[in-house]
A and B are shown apart, each in its own frame.
Chain A
């Protein structure tokens, strides 16, 4: 019996990539792996589309007077940058693309609980994405991604806002359905012997995320539906001229959109938990605390939305309560961070690309989280609100932390998804450039914000030119890093070495399936085990990967 056969009982049979040919076998597939790949394609396209908008913004701001495009065109650029990045990249990126691929494999199941709902979810998302792009065709949208009325619903607005609201509605529905699927899958389809505390932490993170998706996203749907009706029929909900209240929109909007920040960051934290443990060759430290802190973040995350309205005129005691609740989020975040660091203690740290991305996550998430204190604390939020300090803060969380964790996860699971090893040198180069470029882009923005530069400015005072130019140079470096990452991954499809079932020596179930997995994932239904027990694993060779001593599958 060879090592590969010993480690991979399901290695026989054709891979999911060969199971069914032709475009229809992809577009109408019920296979969670193919749906995950389709999500991945859309999401990466969205990332680069949003990136193009960002580069227009950054080059426009090279000079204080702007000048690359008109003010109106600039306003459309930052609106589309925000809307595309948030709704089509950051929110669905990890759960829908990586999560769809990984969740059934990690629980040891054949597929998600509701494969047809999964396909519907994908097509709703695709339809939402098409509507976003359609707003470009009908003249663009300049409301900011936050869509605040009265500005967003003024009667002079045409089709653009209606398309965007419908697009958000559809993307939101897609998100809800994905959440339903993950909760059902994690509850009902775990392999025999896999208890709740045998779940890989990525699944705890996605479980917490799914709770938020199911409870918060309907509020977004209702809000954009009301906005749609308000614009067409003047119901008097959000528009003061018809008797409505624009701050009510802000409450509704942030009741979803703040928890949405945790829809973005929790899966990222899940990836970090997997990667830091595997590449330290040590069980994750404080498993239960990391798992429970995900749930704590999901719960507290519902109670902090009011911190977006500290300057809106809401009562001061409301502000005080929201400030306190907001600061509480620091605690589960700190618990996670220290547990990750403790995982590396006395480990045998392997600096492959996923781990490099995770190491940069620690510093960047540190800055993102700590600068959140300045915005949760009322005294400092009042001057900093709506300045570049906020822009820098949320980019540290959403780009720095989430996108970098997405890249870590993408490199980590790439061999499983494609059956090919990416080029480690290109991966390393991309991780270093992304880290440097990211910091160069966004650290100067903290300084500009403290000095008083408001966000969403097409032109600015000369004193901020230095910060803006550093930022633009940083954005070029960051983009270069991303292009190298993409190139390295795509090139591996043709030139990459064949990936073994378990190239990293990980202990969770997806690594007992073949790379790429067969259509049914596992030839023999696996038993759930201990996802961070690396004890019996040893590296046979780069080609054969890691196998568990004794030849049993996990």
Chain B
């Protein structure tokens, strides 16, 4: 049903160079299909409105030979039903098409383990902590490998926007947000900040480098390794320095607080009977506001630990490495 307009849209879009950016992610095609459908639908209705306006003005213009209107009804319930029902039906069609694509945009593609990158926005640059500990001011990805970006901000709201991926996600201070997709086309694509953040908002630019395969990514990741403390090392250090290990074991043995071995990504039973997924925002909350959610079987005794964003990201990276409880 939407094949025809898509094809037409394709022809039109191809005709306007620089109009639509390249498609470089798994979601781009779906987005462009919805765009094409809406484009032709809108073009049709705009043409209808303009054509009727022009036709009526020309045909029914007041002129010396025609000063009075012709008799015509001042309402018609059948017409009202018609022009209520058609837009309503179209709303359902648009909603269904768009929501289907959107839900795909929020789900990681199954298959290979995702490439997880911690993204930090700050005035006015981006920082990317890649798996294996490599940090960089450019984002490095692997074509065909599902990717999960976990975004944070150290100051104000920023927004990571890659037109070629058709994706955008705000980085909000005080919480983590996520963006999932699979890059499909090797190349280098601009990353822009889309949420206004002050003086150099328009130059908060970098690039996403999509490597053709894992080997190319690994080769890049090995360059200059060891010069800086990796996120996991930050987390391990914080865990020792802040005294976390006094109450939380990392090997599954019991303590004042729950052991942290293998908790990452699992559902946790809470004292009030609810459950919560142990994800980035849960870990952040458990550190800065420990009383908010208490694990079942434990008391509310932990003091808040004031950590900065990078330290929290470090702890998360460290917890992710504490695999499966026995």
Contact = CB atoms under 8 A, between A and B. Distances in A.
Contact of A386 (B67, B84, B161): B161
B168 A350 contact: no
Nearest to B46: A366
Interface in A288-344: 288-289, 311-313, 316, 319-320, 323-324, 327-328, 330-331, 334-335, 337-339, 341-342, 344
A287 B75 contact: yes
Interface in A186-245: 240-241, 243-245
Contacts of B170: 311-313
B2 interface: no
A158 to B, nearest CB: 15
A71 B200 contact: yes
Nearest to B164: A452
A510 B200 CA distance: 53
A320 B102 contact: yes
A541 interface: no
B103 A316 contact: yes
Given A75-B199, A331-B87, A380-B98, A370 B46 contact: yes
B163 A451 contact: yes
A330 B38 CA distance: 13
Interface stretch (A15-23, A420-428, A455-463): A455-463
A79 B169 CA distance: 23
A349 B60 contact: yes
Given A240-B174, A344-B56, A386-B194, A452 B50 contact: no
Given A342-B79, A458-B201, A363 B49 contact: yes
Contacts, number: 259
A246 B159 CA distance: 14
A312 B38 contact: no
Interface in A110-150: 142, 144, 148, 150
A377 B21 CA distance: 19
Contacts of A455: 194, 196
Contacts of B169: 311, 313
**Residue from the set B50, B83, B90, B97 with the largest chain A CB neighbour count within 10 Å:** B83
Given A348-B69, A349-B60, A150 B173 contact: yes
B68 interface: yes
Given A144-B196, A337-B49, A386-B168, A379 B98 contact: yes
Given A311-B168, A330-B91, A380 B174 contact: no
- Pick the 9 closest A-B CB pairs, nearest first: A240-B174, A452-B163, A313-B177, A377-B98, A378-B102, A457-B202, A370-B42, A379-B101, A348-B62
Interface of A: 71-72, 75, 142, 144, 148, 150-151, 154, 240-241, 243-247, 280-289, 311-313, 316, 319-320, 323-324, 327-328, 330-331, 334-335, 337-339, 341-342, 344-351, 359, 362-363, 366-367, 370-371, 373-374, 376-380, 382-383, 385-387, 447, 450-452, 454-461, 463, 532
Given A280-B69, A324-B95, A383-B167, 16 more contacts: A72-B199, A151-B198, A244-B174, A281-B68, A287-B75, A311-B170, A312-B172, A338-B79, A341-B52, A346-B69, A349-B60, A370-B42, A373-B38, A377-B34, A380-B38, A450-B19
26 contacts: A75-B199, A148-B157, A151-B156, A241-B173, A280-B60, A282-B74, A284-B74, A286-B79, A313-B169, A323-B99, A328-B91, A334-B86, A344-B56, A348-B67, A348-B69, A359-B53, A370-B42, A378-B99, A378-B105, A382-B167, A386-B194, A450-B19, A451-B163, A455-B196, A458-B201, A463-B18
